[in-house]
Chain A
């Protein structure tokens, strides 16, 4: 267990370092922020002065090490646009994104687990068909469209739920459905095929042959075996919800990190982009690390 932990931490550190390099290089490739920050007719002297102030006149590798050193101390610089420390801005927006991603994730599992398990148990029945349709709809339809339709039906038409904002539980429901529906298809498929394989296994037949009640066979003895592949993709989807909620955040005016970072990209607000993307990568790496740890909890054969 300790070995898994240590190895995981080392891998995480390397991944994050790599991410920081990529983030830095790509953001420099996107263009010169100074040209956006100053008026078109600004004299060369003003441009040079601003560059010097921001440290943009130094060689790239030097800029990178300065960036890295400061980042280690939690200093990503001031946001060019918001006039506040970039990291503070990111942390201000992060909770809303984590909240939305968690809700969306919970929604996707609440839908996918029963659908997947029941589709396997009643293979070829109407439950299986309906499960397939629900899952495919989520994957085939883009999330912004799902969001718009949800707003149209539940906010504008039925007026059950608010269309935008982030004040209470009722605000998170629609964006969570819009964001969480996409992974349902993949999750359902993984659970279904895992369960089909497990339900046909010798040990389930053995369990049945000593009179294990069907409910326990399916939900306890078979399900835990089918969980491993699910956990793998769960990690990936959760991480991508954290970083990829931009579209849904925009549709629902959700004050999350994804929207903030994309806006920062458009205004070449390097500090915010760097802080936001690095924090997201850390969350990504962290969620994969948790997935690795949970393998060993689910499957004793992986424990060391």
Chain B
């Protein structure tokens, strides 16, 4: 591992100030991503995964009342102190880019693919003319393995299939060779065979460019193939983090164990899939102690207090009293 991580997030808090109260969507999380590394962020819907990523890019919904606090450092530079103008000019695109969830809605329907993929090159002054930007865009489409890219530049998004659109989105995101790529459930909306293609595309992009990737997903089976490390989020906090192997073989937190149990396995003797009983807590009214405690099968009296991070070896840490006690 290199000396300074590519991305260092410390005590990130994203609170949404709504009329009804304050939603603590992200509530004090810390993690790192190194160059050429993929961190998987796993959790249920509403656990704060997407909000975490939007906070890194400072792209929270405009009228959502979001307030971001803490520290997000990229190559040592504090991003949260940059203004909107500087984020747009220097960070979004050449430093951090994002592939969003739904390829069907993330391309502008009334502009050509060529327009959308080529413009980032111009915004960030990598080329001077529109013509050169188009050449660069064609190269970008070739890089994500879209056939006959020069011709496809003139097409509109609706003329592409879902998988092809996700490739276009990917080409757009990696146009300016970002240092960090955030992929927010990039395959959720796609067929299983296409999922595999997109995942292997991300892996090959990483091999070529040493880009750091944050892969957000609620699907643990996707994580295994691509990620180096995993962070499990629950109700706005990271509750367990470690190398993929450690999490899969030696999950400590009852929530992580339950998530792993919820993956259907082929060949295993047929039994009911294990669902986690209960609902995630209301983010406006969180318990003081462990946030999973109300649903936890191994709940103890001490769980009314928030468990500290316990290192169980090899960078594998977990916030659970079970691990702390041992």
Which residues of A are at the interface with B, using a C-beta cutoff of 8 A?
A: 123-124, 199-214, 221, 224-225, 298-301
Contacts and interface: CB of A to CB of B under 8 A. Distances in A.
Interface string B98-116: 1011100111111100001
Interface of B: 57, 59, 61-63, 84, 88-89, 91-94, 97-98, 100-102, 105-111, 116, 119-120, 123-124, 156, 158, 169, 172-173, 175-176
Given A202-B102, A301-B156, A210 B110 contact: no
A224 B62 contact: no
B123 A301 contact: no
Given A200-B61, A212-B120, A301-B109, 6 more contacts: A123-B63, A203-B108, A209-B97, A210-B92, A210-B123, A213-B123
A279 B102 CA distance: 50
Contacts of B116: 207
A203 B92 contact: no
B186 to A, nearest CB: 12
Contacts of B93: 209-211
A97 to B, nearest CB: 34
Nearest to B58: A208
A225 B109 contact: yes
A208 B59 contact: yes
B100 A206 contact: yes
A260 B158 CA distance: 50
A237 to B, nearest CB: 23
A87 B61 CA distance: 58
Contacts of A300: 109-110, 156, 158
A204 B107 CA distance: 8
A211 B94 CA distance: 8
A209 B119 CA distance: 12
Contact of A209 (B98, B105, B108, B156): B98
13 contacts: A203-B109, A205-B59, A206-B107, A207-B116, A209-B93, A210-B92, A211-B93, A211-B124, A212-B120, A221-B111, A299-B109, A300-B158, A301-B158
Contacts of A200: 61-62
A199 B59 CA distance: 12
A86 to B, nearest CB: 45
A211 B88 contact: yes
Contact of B108 (A124, A211, A214, A221): A221
Contacts of B105: 201-203
Q: In this complex, which of A124, A202, A221 has the most chain B Cβ atoms within 10 angstroms of its Cβ?
A: A202
Given A123-B63, A205-B100, A210 B176 contact: yes
A225 B110 contact: yes
A210 B97 CA distance: 6
Contacts of A202: 100-102, 105-106
A301 B158 CA distance: 7
B216 to A, nearest CB: 14
Contacts of A201: 105
A298 to B, nearest CB: 7
A255 to B, nearest CB: 42
A71 B243 CA distance: 85
Contact of A206 (B109, B110, B123, B172): B172
B112 to A, nearest CB: 8
Given A201-B105, A203-B106, A209 B59 contact: yes
B88 A213 contact: yes
Contacts of B91: 211
B98 A211 contact: no
Nearest to A214: B88
B124 A203 contact: no
B106 A206 contact: yes
Given A200-B61, A298-B110, A300-B158, A209 B92 contact: yes
A202 B189 CA distance: 14
B182 to A, nearest CB: 8
A127 B315 CA distance: 53
Contacts of B107: 203, 206
B16 to A, nearest CB: 15
Q: In this complex, which of B97, B106, B120 has the most chain A Cβ atoms within 10 angstroms of its Cβ?
A: B106
Nearest to A206: B106
A208 B92 contact: yes
A299 B110 contact: yes
Contacts of B92: 208-211
A224 B109 CA distance: 10
Contacts of A209: 57, 59, 92-93, 97-98, 100, 173
Nearest to B84: A214
Given A211-B120, A212-B123, A300-B158, A224 B110 contact: yes
Contacts of A298: 110
Contacts of B63: 123-124
Contacts of B156: 300-301
B83 to A, nearest CB: 12
Contact of B88 (A124, A199, A208, A221): A208
B127 to A, nearest CB: 14
B172 A212 contact: no
Contacts of A210: 92-93, 97, 119-120, 123, 172-173, 175-176
A300 to B, nearest CB: 4
A8 to B, nearest CB: 21
Nearest to B119: A212
Contacts of B106: 202-203, 205-206
A162 B116 CA distance: 50
